[in-house]
């Protein structure tokens, strides 16, 4: 089986929920969505470990290792090449959705060809991480089936690393995402490399708002290109009925400068602020559910197939 190595660097997570003082059981969302209390008892709920499987902190960019040297080189390339022009070109190319026709589950199986070898917290096939995240959320939020499915599919866009999807370089697929078309906030990891990005010196792009206006809404903001935005386009253009928070999670789960550092909030509108509360919940499971305990795929498959049928057409254009 072919293995595609992708970069997904990690640094120490700061809980945005703790930072804001919000309690999950108290969050209320507009549009008919309420933030439920977890149905599990406190001693049964998913608890985030302090260390990853290798005995290091999650998302630690400072540890000295050959892997971290590769991570820094990854971000150097990403920060230099992710420009307004590049993102515009990628959105036009991949927005055609002409690479393949297949089901969601077929894509899940295809993702087994992608192993995130550079991730300090994960050395398992991607589908295991997806199912670990989904099952952990399912345990704590059994009634939010859309959130279970969102966890399962949130990383499917990584297939654009595969040759049949264009074989994009790692810096155009994974890693933290950020807006282009406005100033690169210093909360972006390895910020120093943005100085080599042509947009850094473009007066139209290097102010706080850049080409955007305050409160314009993230839907009107171009993000650096990667698997998040691609999977969002696939879901949207194929008529997925996932609720707004689910599509928001898919599109912005790698936007760590926003959901962890709390920056770029001046671009958000009210719907974004409501959806961000769900992303804060999701992020705990996305980052910390990586485990050596394998999920029995065949055992849980019927449940997730029923969710796919509920929220997606049988076959999608990719």
306 annotated ligand-binding residue: no
Are 112 and 1 a contacting pair, CB within 8 Å? yes
203 annotated ligand-binding residue: no
DSSP lists the bridge partners of residue 101 as 317
Helices (H), ranges, the chain: 16-20, 66-81, 84-94, 104-110, 126-140, 145-153, 227-237, 244-252, 256-259, 270-288, 297-311
CA atoms within 13 A of residue 302's CA, in its CB half-sphere:
1
| Calpha distance 110→157 (Å, rounded) | 11
Closest CA to 81 of 251, 210, 185, 200: 200
176 annotated ligand-binding residue: yes
118 annotated ligand-binding residue: yes
289 annotated ligand-binding residue: no
22 annotated ligand-binding residue: no
73 annotated ligand-binding residue: no
Are 294 and 128 a contacting pair, CB within 8 Å? yes
148 annotated ligand-binding residue: no
- How many residues are there in the chain? 318
286 annotated ligand-binding residue: yes
| Calpha distance 310→241 (Å, rounded) | 8
263 annotated ligand-binding residue: no
155 annotated ligand-binding residue: yes
59 annotated ligand-binding residue: yes
145 annotated ligand-binding residue: no
280 annotated ligand-binding residue: no
Q: State the binding site for Fe cation.
A: 129, 154-155, 227, 253, 286
Binding residues for substrate: 59, 116-118, 158, 175-176, 253-254
- Residue set of the binding site: 59, 116-118, 129, 154-155, 158, 175-176, 227, 253-254, 286
């Amino acid at each position: 089986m072919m293995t595609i190595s992708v970069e997904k660097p990690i640094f120490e997570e700061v809980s945005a929920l703790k930072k804001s003082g919000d309690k999950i059981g108290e969050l209320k969302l507009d549009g008919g969505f309420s933030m439920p209390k977890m149905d599990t008892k406190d001693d049964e709920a998913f608890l985030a470990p302090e260390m990853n499987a290798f005995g290091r902190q999650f998302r630690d960019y400072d540890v000295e290792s050959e892997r971290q040297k590769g991570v820094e080189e990854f971000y150097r390339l990403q920060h230099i090449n992710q420009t307004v022009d590049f993102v515009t070109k990628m959105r036009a190319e991949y927005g055609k959705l002409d690479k393949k026709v297949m089901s969601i589950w077929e894509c899940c199986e295809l993702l087994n060809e992608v192993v995130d070898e550079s991730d300090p917290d994960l050395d398992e096939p991607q589908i295991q991480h997806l199912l670990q995240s989904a099952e952990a959320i399912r345990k704590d939020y059994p009634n939010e089936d859309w959130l279970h499915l969102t966890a399962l599919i949130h990383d499917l866009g990584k297939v654009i690393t595969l040759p049949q999807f264009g074989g994009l370089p790692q810096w155009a697929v994974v890693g933290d995402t950020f807006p282009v078309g406005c100033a690169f906030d210093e909360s972006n990891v390895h910020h120093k490399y943005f100085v080599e990005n042509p947009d850094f010196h473009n007066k139209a792009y290097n102010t706080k708002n850049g080409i955007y206006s305050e409160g314009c809404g993230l839907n009107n903001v171009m993000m650096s290109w990667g698997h998040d935005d691609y999977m969002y386009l696939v879901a949207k253009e194929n008529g997925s009925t996932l609720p707004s928070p689910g599509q928001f999670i898919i599109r912005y789960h790698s936007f760590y400068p926003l959901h962890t550092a709390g920056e770029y909030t001046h671009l958000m509108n009210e719907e974004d602020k409501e959806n961000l509360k769900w992303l804060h919940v999701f992020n705990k499971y996305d980052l910390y559910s990586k485990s050596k305990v394998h999920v029995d795929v065949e055992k849980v498959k019927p449940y997730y197939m029923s969710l796919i049928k509920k929220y997606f057409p049988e076959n999608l254009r990719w």
